[in-house]
Amino acid sequence: MEMEKNHKILFEPLKIGPKTTKNRFYQVPHCNGMGHRWPRTMAEMRGVKAEGGWGVVCTEECSIHPTSDLTPATLMRLWDDSDLPVHELMINKVHEHGALAGIQLVHNGQSVSNYLSRMPALAPSPCPTETANSTQARGMDKEDIKVLRRWFREAAIRSQRAGYDIIYVYAAHGIMTLLYQFILKRYNQRTDEYGGSLENRVRLVREILEDTKDAVGQDCAVAFRFAVDELLGEDGMHPAEAEDIVGTLAEVPDLWDVNVADWGNDSLPSRFGVEGAQEKYIKFVKGITTKPVVGVGRFTSPDIMASQINRGVLDLIGAARPSIADPFLPKKIQEGRSNEIRECIGCNMCTTGDYVAYPMRCTQNPTMGEEWRKGWHPEKIPLAKSKDTILVVGGGPTGLEATLALSNRSYDVTLAEARNEMGGRVLSETKLGPLRQWKRVADYRTSMLSNRSNVDSFTQSKMDVDAILELGANHVAMATGSKWRLDLLGIHHRFKDVKIHAPMMISPEQIMLGHTPTDHVLIFDDDHYYLGSALAEQLAELGLKVTLVTPAPEVSGWTHFSLEYEHIQIKLRELGVTIICNHGIAQIGDGFVDLSCVFVGTKQRVEVNTVVPVTSRISQDDLYYKVLARRQEWQDNGIKSVTRIGDCYAPGTIAMAVYAGHEFARNLDMPINADIPFRRENDFELGRSWQGFKT
């Protein structure tokens, strides 16, 4: 297959200062929960992206000094030369495939509490730190500024020695960076030459840009990452001020990397924004500077990417999330396989790795984070070890991924789905308007399976024990999913001790399948992720009165990590949803619910027509146990194994469901250590195997 003619512009080289990138695909700096703690895991992940065709592959944030200690977050450090082996490991992986390696140097100022270093945080002016743990940031004096400039310069020189091609000066993502804190007037109350006027507030940024260029500019490109709008109006960075800043610094950096702040607006969840949503904010930059401009927008369509360049919006197509969902996106476009792109769904499961400090995951790409730990490659998979056949029962995210991966291994697979369409819980949940983009999980896999000669797919095929035995597949994977409970059992209500008037109850699945309650609906959310708020939003949009109750102190608390939280809070309040926190359910009667305060037990009654519990799910594993009960018949019917996978085994997120399907397919007929099925990194191994590393 040949690349489409209008996509060729994406593969033109571009000069960035003294460096030249081979194409226009630019993996912007992004966090990943790996960093200095799991360096091999991080390096292999970045290397796979370079192999997949990204012309530039950057690090995440890289702290330059212990006064910017990001603990407990797991990011990069470059405090002194002892940190270099981690960087060299990544750089070598990136250079191996002809990509440029970039590093995003950062000091986070008042946005850290330095839990590991125990050093006072720094800020333009004295203030509390942003972590709300009763610590204060020290206002910097002139000597501090002088020292900070030295730290940046030394970090840039170390970066050059390590082998980086592009070195960042970073002032973006709201209050996350000290340099942006200097620019923002609400954080900079200085009265000297570094405060007051815009020229003064930008002074430190200019000095560090010039210092960096002076130190490494002959050999390395210097990039400036800048948030042009905080979407706060006059209270924050706004268009007029941003245009002045770009104008005054226009030709100083070799590259402008522009976005909007904060991170929740930059990596906008698909519930709240479409592909290319940042264009209206960043498009002015190209008209002011002659230097190349890169920006992001959850780009997955090559037509939209080419349009951005052709219309003079961007010179380079920046990506974090799309490069995670499909590290081989550039190669697929180049080889005329755009239809095979595993498109990002914008769920932001990837961002949770940074907040929770574990190697990031991806709903669409189950190999993300497992490139080194398990040796999983997004485009390569070991061929079948036998001629065995497989039956997958259930065409949800687990069953679809298992079938696709098994077919890639060249196994003959039969996929049986009871419903009239593949997709399972994904199909159901994306009936809710806010989650529409998530249907890509099912669409990608059904599309890829549609032309597989070694896969027989059947819908409206409800399997029973006799049908499974008669088919005689050698291995049976039970991917029959789970369903939401109606008995309130969850994190808060651990026992079935609540009196429930059953006719009041309807399940989330009933709402998803089109059942619309009447009048006043109470949603009890003890799941704390996305579904409770998505149901509330859907029903409120239909004109119903909605009350959302949670025993937690806030609605959808886990979405802090997926960058959805603030958007959800705003949307629910705009729709008039009544929110009641810190309450469980004491009783559900005919036309009412009695709530109970989680702290002191005081009661309040809410008159409602319907209750939708979003608490926990129970595996639909009846068929598995029925097949297990007839184990004595397996051998006569050629069955070697029957395995529960995905939600049928243990309910979890869609990302976990996809991962479980892929894991089953990868492990079939393979030697696996069942106790610890992945490689680990530890100081002894690193010290022994990295030349020059001192333990």
Instruction: Report, as residue numbers or ranges, the catalytic residues.
Output: 31, 170, 173, 266
Cα(141)–Cα(143) distance, integer angstroms: 5
Helix (H, G, I), strand (E, B) or coil at 132: coil
Sheet holding 121-123, edge to edge: 121-123, 136-139, 127-128
Coil vs helix vs strand at 506: coil
Q: What are phi and psi of 673, to 5 degrees?
A: -80, 105
DSSP per residue, 404-468? HHHHHTT-EEEEE-SSSSTTTHHHHHTTSGGGGGGGHHHHHHHHHHTT-TTEEEESS----HHHH
For 171, the 3-state DSSP assignment is strand
Question: What one-character-per-residue DSSP string does 84-115 give?
Answer: HHHHHHHHHHHHTTT-EEEEEEE--GGG---T
Measure the CA–CA gap between 158 and 132, rounded to whole angstroms.
Answer: 33
- Residue of 275, 269, 277 lying closest to 561 (CA atoms): 269
**C-beta neighbour count of 219 within 10 angstroms:** 13
Which residue type does 98 have? G
| Of residues 645, 665, 654, the one with CA closest to residue 408 | 665
Residue 23's nearest CA partner among 390, 315, 282 is 315
Tell which residue, 298, 236, 223, has the closest CA to residue 262: 236
Residues 374, 680: Cα–Cα separation, whole Å: 10
Hey, what are 441's tokens? 């999980």
Q: Is the peptide bond before 254 cis (omega within 30 degrees of 0)?
A: no
Q: Which residue has the tokens 């819908």?
A: 459
In sequence order, the 6+-apart residues with CB closer than 8 A to the CB of 305 are 7, 10, 24, 299, 317
Backbone torsion region of residue 348, taken as left when φ is above 0, otherwise alpha when ψ lies between -120 and 50, otherwise beta: left
**Alpha carbon distance 456, 604 (integer Å):** 55
Residue 349, phi then psi, degrees to nearest 5: -60, -30
SS3 per residue for 245-270: HHHHHCCCCCEEEEEECCHHHHCCCC
User: What secondary structure letter does DSSP report for 505?
Assistant: B
SS3 295: strand
Distance between CA atoms of residues 509 and 18, nearest Å? 57
Q: Are 181 and 129 in contact (CB under 8 A)?
A: no
